[in-house]
Amino acid sequence: MPRARTTEIQQYRTTTHMLNIIAEIQGNIASAFGLLGAAIGVGLIGQKAAEAVGRNPAASGKILVQAIIGMALAEGLGILALFLAK
């Protein structure tokens, strides 16, 4: 194999390897942002549920149910972001 052809093949392999690494990093960053959004959402739901119970303790049962449903939906989206972004 001529020397020029070997250099082209090596350059192609290096470029392909770099693109694979960039794609992997991009998927990891997308997953991280999705999980970060879910964590922030769960935190905000918990904060607002605690505020609501503080204002109206008699409604704590209804507030708890709504908060758990909201947290489950936020976590579900976080898990989707984790598995679909990769």
Range of the domain at 8: 3-84
pLDDT digits (tens, 9 = 90+) for 25-45: 998 998 999 999 999 999 999
Full-model pTM: 0.75
Contact 75, 38 (CB under 8 A): yes
Candidate ranges 1-5, 20-24, 60-64; pick with highest mean pLDDT? 60-64
Q: What is the pLDDT of residue 70?
A: 94
Work out how many domains the chain is built from and give that number: 1
Which residues contact residue 2 at a Cβ distance below 8 angstroms, ignoring those fewer than 6 apart? none
Q: What is the CATH number of the domain that holds 65?
A: 1.20.20.10
SS (HEC) of 50-83 = HHHHHHCHHHHHHHHHHHHHHHHHHHHHHHHHHH
- Rounded to the nearest 10 degrees, what angle do helices 3-55 and 60-84 cross at? 180
As a whole number, mean pLDDT of residues 15-21 equals 87
Q: What is the pLDDT of residue 55?
A: 95
